[in-house]
Amino acid sequence: MEKEVEKVSLNKCKSVLESDGSKYSDEEVLEIREFLYKLAELDYRVFLKHKQREAEFEKEKQKQKREEEDFKQAA
């Protein structure tokens, strides 16, 4: 379930894109804006996956540490 994001206005996007003197049609600006939002979504998903894997790795590391300590105490 994705929540709807309020997107940057067409005028603001156009202003930023044309700040170097370039010119874009409204359709080009809309396509660029859509591409950037998709890219941001992908980056966010990669970030979340990375954080999840980091947490799983840390959990596994702690488990192994406990097992080693238990083994030492049993010896």
User: Is the pLDDT confidence value at 7 over 70?
Assistant: yes
Which pLDDT score is estimated for 1?
52
Q: Is residue 7 part of a domain?
A: no
State the average pLDDT over residues 19-34. Answer: 97
**H or E segment to which residue 27 belongs:** helix 26-74
* Digit-coded pLDDT (tens) for 46-58: 999 999 999 999 9
3-state secondary structure of 19: helix
User: How many independent structural domains does the chain possess?
Assistant: 1
| Domain membership of residue 32 as a residue range | 25-74
State the average pLDDT over residues 26-41. Answer: 97
The whole-model pTM stands at 0.70
State the average pLDDT over residues 13-24. Answer: 97
Which pLDDT score is estimated for 12?
97
Q: Is residue 19 part of a domain?
A: no
Q: Is residue 35 part of a domain?
A: yes
What's the rounded Cα separation, in Å, for the pair 70 and 68? 5
Q: Is residue 17 part of a domain?
A: no
Q: Is residue 36 part of a domain?
A: yes
